[in-house]
Amino acid sequence: MKTPDPGRRGTGGMRYAGLGVQLAVSLLVFVWLGQWLDRHLGTGGLLTVVFAFIGFGGTMYWLIRSLGRKDGSE
C-alpha cells in the first residue's frame, strides 16, 4: 500500500469541498457589481443580468479547468 505524500493535495472530498461556496460568492460579487453599476448609470437592471452571466460563466470555466487537472496543482 502506498502512503500518501503530505505535501501533495488529496484527490478526495476535500478538493471539492469549497467549490459550491466559491461559485456562490463569485456570483454574488458579480451581481452586486451589476446592481451598483445599474444604480449609478440608470440602466434598469440590464447590467445586473449581464454581470450575473459573466460571473457564472467565468466561474464555471475556472471550475471545469481546475477539475480537469489530474494532479490538483494550480
Q: Between these two residues, 33 and 66, which has the higher pLDDT value?
A: 33
Query: What pLDDT, on the 0 to 100 scale, is given for residue 10?
Result: 55
In whole angstroms, what is the distance from residue 31 CA to residue 39 CA?
12
**Tens of pLDDT, residues 5-20:** 555 555 567 667 788 8
pLDDT of res. 64:
86
Instruction: Give the H/E segment covering residue 34.
Output: helix 19-41
pTM, entire model: 0.70
Q: Where are the domains of the chain?
A: 29-69
Burial of 31 (0-12, 13-18, 19+ CB in 10 A): middle
Q: What is the pLDDT of residues 22-38, one digit of tens each?
A: 888 999 999 999 999 99
